[in-house]
A and B are shown apart, each in its own frame.
Chain A
Amino acid sequence: MALRTLATRKTLGAFSTFPQQLRGLQTFTLPDLAYDYGALEPAISGDIMQLHHQKHHQTYITNYNKALEQLDDAIAKGDASTAVKLQSAIKFNGGGHVNHSIFWKNLAPTKEGGGEPPHGSLGWAIDQSYGSVEKLIAKMNAEGAAVQGSGWVWLAVDKELKRLVVETTANQDPLVTKGPSLVPLIGIDVWEHAYYLQYKNVRPDYLKNIWKVINWKYASEIYEKECP
């Protein structure tokens, strides 16, 4: 799957009026999807995919870049208060970029393997830990439905304990905020923007249907890397 994340190296001089020495600041651009917006229908509508990618994810990236530039500036000036004040904007927007970049890889059209259950070592580990893929899905759907407000539900592997974990995070907190050794395998966005135009208030229907386009191949690759 050719998914490219483009990062550009810009010098601070291009954005700042301060005559400082040139610093390299890596900022971010919107990664492409490996499929068309409409390719996940009927599980997720093309309208949602387009808005979600081009508006929501792009806004996180734009605001993350802005916050990073402000942070870079504050650090250069030794302005500790500003540096600390920027942390919530970094977490919201940087987290939003991190999470959505994973999410696009977690999805695939059915004709490209979306929805096909995991084989190999991940499938085996799921059976060991949860009894079956169906039981894991039921657990993730229950936890995803129970997230108050906005957030994510995750299947993760603890890379230290070599164990599968189901976890939820609030808002755009990345999974690592729940445990530094947690590596995301599958993340499902349960912010209302992820499903509202199609499923309205019925988040459980969205959760039931998204599994038809979940990219278990990608999840298996990550798992096999952490648990060879």
Chain B
Amino acid sequence: MVMASVTTIASHLTSTFLYAPEFCRLSQSLHTSQRPCTRKSVSGTISANIDLKPPPYALDALEPHMSKETLEYHWGKHHRGYVNNLNKQIEGTELDKMSLESIILASHNKGDILPAFNNAAQVWNHEFFWESMKPGGGGKPSGELLELINRDFGSFEALIQEFKLAATTQFGSGWAWLVYDLEDKKLVVLKSSNAINPLVLGSYPLLTLDVWEHAYYLDFKNLRPDYISTFLDKLVSWDAVSSRLEAAKVSIEGK
């Protein structure tokens, strides 16, 4: 079992795999929704095409574990802010009209990060986060996902411990992830700082938890460990993780 921080897998950044067409196809399979081609603002001034996608549930649907107030700020202000700022940044540039994943890879620029990266990656990260939760979440995974967890971590409990450790020890702002490592073909727990995500780290994201303070401060104040436990006990959607694992395997085998 492997837990890696972003610094220890920085060597993946030099991999040419990241920028190969195979990977772009793979990353596009992560989102099942349609993305309309253009979005016009009321004033008609911005036509860059990145959407603010709502969570797949009402903003109060995760109560009492994640409050409506948190969702109103986290989705309604933070996520919305990333979308609006990204659209302003890419308007009229070569990034305009590209898919979100392509914008992320292009602006990550093999580690020599360009200005649009932070907004683009955070838009993606937050969409992925909402989809990683569901009302009545928690419980245990099953089927092939559970088999792989047992194979790669020893047990479900061991995965939980490792995920909790990653989320607790990500210092400052960032994210904890469960990913499928495409080279080693195994499940891995990662943590990343600020906006960095597995798309630029050479692995296939399956689950994420936002550990920026804005994600939990209104509900849990400084008690990040309680937030992490609540996420795992009450909110995590193992169904979403299983679907993503399916998509990962299809993408890899279809290469």
Count residues of A near B (Cβ-Cβ below 8 Å).
20
A55-B222, A196-B214 given; 10 more Cβ-contact pairs under 8 Å: A55-B221, A148-B194, A149-B174, A149-B195, A149-B212, A171-B171, A172-B171, A172-B172, A192-B213, A197-B217
On whether the beta carbons of A201 and B81 are closer than 8 Å, the reply is: yes
- Answer yes or no: B73 CB below 8 A from chain A CBs: yes
Compute how far the CA of A96 lies from the CA of B69 in the bound complex, rounded to whole angstroms.
Answer: 29
Interface residues of B in 157-198 (CB under 8 A from A): 171-174, 193-195
Compute how far the CA of A92 lies from the CA of B218 in the bound complex, rounded to whole angstroms.
Answer: 24
- Answer yes or no: A163 CB below 8 A from chain B CBs: no
On whether the beta carbons of A193 and B217 are closer than 8 Å, the reply is: yes
Chain B: which residue is nearest A54 at the CB level?
A: B222
On whether the beta carbons of A193 and B213 are closer than 8 Å, the reply is: yes
Q: Knowing A150-B172, A171-B171, A201-B73 touch, does A192 contact B212 (C-beta < 8 A)?
A: yes
Compute how far the CA of A149 lies from the CA of B173 in the bound complex, rounded to whole angstroms.
Answer: 5
On whether the beta carbons of A59 and B222 are closer than 8 Å, the reply is: yes
On whether the beta carbons of A149 and B172 are closer than 8 Å, the reply is: yes
On whether the beta carbons of A148 and B217 are closer than 8 Å, the reply is: no
- Answer yes or no: A56 CB below 8 A from chain B CBs: yes
Compute how far the CA of A196 lies from the CA of B218 in the bound complex, rounded to whole angstroms.
Answer: 8
Interface residues of B in 190-238 (CB under 8 A from A): 193-195, 212-214, 217-218, 221-222
Count residues of B near A (Cβ-Cβ below 8 Å).
19
Could you say which residues of chain A place their CB within 8 Å of the CB of B213? 150, 191-193, 196
Compute how far the CA of A191 lies from the CA of B222 in the bound complex, rounded to whole angstroms.
Answer: 12
Could you say which residues of chain B place their CB within 8 Å of the CB of A201? 73, 77-78, 81, 214
Interface residues of A in 70-96 (CB under 8 A from B): 88, 92
A-B contact count (CB 8 A): 52
On whether the beta carbons of A192 and B222 are closer than 8 Å, the reply is: no
- Answer yes or no: A200 CB below 8 A from chain B CBs: yes
On whether the beta carbons of B218 and A197 are closer than 8 Å, the reply is: yes
Q: Knowing A193-B213, A201-B78, A201-B81 touch, does A148 contact B195 (C-beta < 8 A)?
A: yes
Compute how far the CA of A193 lies from the CA of B227 in the bound complex, rounded to whole angstroms.
Answer: 15
Compute how far the CA of A59 lies from the CA of B168 in the bound complex, rounded to whole angstroms.
Answer: 13
Could you say which residues of chain A place their CB within 8 Å of the CB of B89? none
On whether the beta carbons of A148 and B222 are closer than 8 Å, the reply is: no
On whether the beta carbons of B217 and A196 are closer than 8 Å, the reply is: yes
Q: Knowing A149-B174, A201-B73 touch, does A56 contact B222 (C-beta < 8 A)?
A: yes
- Answer yes or no: B118 CB below 8 A from chain A CBs: yes
Could you say which residues of chain B place their CB within 8 Å of the CB of A149? 172-174, 193-195, 212
- Can you report 30 residue pairs joining A to B where beta carbons are below 8 Å apart? A51-B221, A55-B221, A56-B222, A92-B171, A148-B194, A149-B173, A149-B174, A149-B193, A149-B194, A149-B195, A150-B173, A150-B213, A151-B172, A170-B172, A171-B172, A172-B171, A172-B172, A191-B213, A192-B173, A192-B212, A193-B217, A193-B222, A196-B217, A197-B217, A197-B218, A200-B73, A200-B77, A201-B77, A201-B81, A201-B214
